[in-house]
Chain A
Amino acid sequence: METTLTYLEVLSRESKKPEVEIMAMALRAGLRQLWRERTLGRYLRGELSRDEAVELVGIDWVELAERQYDAAKEDLKWGMEQ
């Protein structure tokens, strides 16, 4: 919590915007991130096509999610070895 308040104070001071505006921006940014993660999750679970995911969040995020997914699958496979 202390870190959050520090972020808020510093961002407000440096951007010369009121704290309430910074909080509104943070809410929008947070919601965008949550929506992006929901979309990528639906794509990785096969609920969305690749084209649909690309249209919704952009090719960069889709490719990153694919690479992370491949890495996670490799980690799982290695981790499950006896």
Chain B
Amino acid sequence: MGDGAVGPVVADSGPLIHLAEVGLLGLLRMFEAVHAPGAVWSETVGKGFVNEADLMGLGNVCRRDLRREDVRGYAHEHGLEALHDGELESLCLCRMLGVFTLLTDDLAVRKAAKRLGITPVGSLGVVVRAHKRGAISVKEAENAIVRLYDLSSLFVTRAIVDLVIDELRKSSSP
């Protein structure tokens, strides 16, 4: 296991749902804190995609409710009105907390995050980092990535999955 926890992150709904769908929510323990805005909570726990007890059981997940006017102002200031509530609140929360890593699997949100100086990280990145830190073996990481493709609602083409697995194997070979 790597030294210390990975810095704090804000989570959009996608990675919480996708990791929960394949039973890998536990990988989120590697983060110092996982902040989830209220809208993300509603889209995940509220809709039954993620079990609240499982999420809270991680011990590092904090629900953060934002004031609607703050979020609206932030959206207007940065031209983000086209994003959904959870996505928007996630970006807004990053700024409010001074957190510079956002867990998201949405390509439009990734683009917006980078424009705002925030590093977007998807479910695949979480799996790769967990392996790099020694929390899971290369075989477990490969299985996790295949399950994200086969079983979860993460939308990614098979070619990408194969390329990520190839890179993972290369980086792990002596």
Contact size range, A: 20 to 34
Residues of B within 8 A of A76 (CB): 124-125, 128, 164, 167-168
User: Residue on B with the closest CB to A69?
Assistant: B160
Query: Cα distance A72–B162 when bound, in Å?
Result: 11
Residues facing A in B107-145 (CB within 8 A) are 107, 110, 119-122, 124-129, 131-132
Given contacts A65-B159, A71-B107, A74-B125, contact A80 B164 (CB under 8 A): no
Contact A79 B127 (CB under 8 A): yes
Residues of B within 8 A of A44 (CB): 159-160, 163
Contact A82 B132 (CB under 8 A): yes
Given contacts A67-B107, A68-B107, A74-B120, contact A79 B160 (CB under 8 A): no
Contact size range, B: 20 to 34
Contact B122 A71 (CB under 8 A): yes
Contact B159 A75 (CB under 8 A): no
Question: What 1/0 mask marks residues of chain B from 60 to 76 whose CB sits below 8 Å from any chain A CB?
Answer: 00000000000000000
Residues facing B in A57-82 (CB within 8 A) are 64-65, 67-69, 71-72, 74-76, 78-82
Query: Cα distance A76–B141 when bound, in Å?
Result: 12
Main secondary structure of the interface of A (DSSP, over half): helix
Contact B124 A79 (CB under 8 A): yes
Quick check: is A41 within 8 A (CB to CB) of the other chain? yes
Contact B167 A78 (CB under 8 A): no
Given contacts A37-B159, A44-B160, 7 further A-B contacts (CB under 8 A): A72-B124, A75-B128, A75-B164, A79-B121, A79-B124, A79-B127, A80-B128
The interface of chain A, by Cβ under 8 A from chain B, is 37, 40-41, 44-45, 64-65, 67-69, 71-72, 74-76, 78-82
